[in-house]
Amino acid sequence: MQQKFDNPCMRYFIGDVRDQERLKQAMQNVDFVIHAAALKQVPAAEYNPMECIKTNIHGAENVIKAALTNDVDKVIALSTDKAANPINLYGATKLASDKLFVAANNMAGGHPTRFSVVRYGNVVGSRGSVVPFSIS
């Protein structure tokens, strides 16, 4: 991505949403954040529930805190259709994450930061898609 979108207004960091200090550093002088980090595989989440919670819920909380600390203008969190009426841990953690981001608007107080959540469904032809496809 860095090779394709090489612009001085963009910075690229390696980090982890579990590392609040790194997030605070990465969000310095940032206007927009798109939060897409998550432990997304249902079987992996079921087998490693604590890891899923640490990444999807505590990671979301860290993103919110770092954004507020740095007065980021807008944070958009990517969610999933699995957060609507969740039947597995992944969906449940994403629902909790969604609720955190929506509630963060109340926590913002005098900060200019605004939080939004967008949900998407399965992408046809992606790994893990429930929509079958064939190449003729």
Specify the higher pLDDT residue, 95 or 135: 95
pLDDT at 135: 59
Number of domains in the chain: 1
Q: In the structure, what pLDDT confidence band is assigned to residue 67 with cuts at 50, 70 and 90? A: very high
The 10s digit of each residue's pLDDT in 25-61 is: 999 999 999 999 999 899 999 999 999 999 999 999 9
pLDDT at 124: 66
113 within domain boundaries: yes
Give backbone dihedrals phi and psi of 43, rounded to 5 degrees, phi first: -60, -40
Q: What average pLDDT is seen over the chain?
A: 91
77 within domain boundaries: yes
135 within domain boundaries: no
79 within domain boundaries: yes
15 within domain boundaries: no
Q: What is the pTM of this model?
A: 0.86
Name the region of 107 (left: φ>0; alpha: ψ -120 to 50; beta: rest). alpha
25 within domain boundaries: yes
Q: In the structure, what pLDDT confidence band is assigned to residue 8 with cuts at 50, 70 and 90? A: confident
pLDDT at 63: 98
- By annotation, the residues acting in catalysis are 82
The 10s digit of each residue's pLDDT in 75-102 is: 999 999 899 999 999 999 999 999 999 9
**Residue 98 belongs to domain spanning:** 20-118
129 within domain boundaries: no
Rounded to 10 degrees, what is the CA torsion of 46, 47, 53, 55?
-110
73 within domain boundaries: yes
Helix (H) or strand (E) holding 101: helix 89-107
Q: In the structure, what pLDDT confidence band is assigned to residue 69 with cuts at 50, 70 and 90? A: very high
pLDDT at 11: 84
CATH number at residue 103: 3.40.50.720
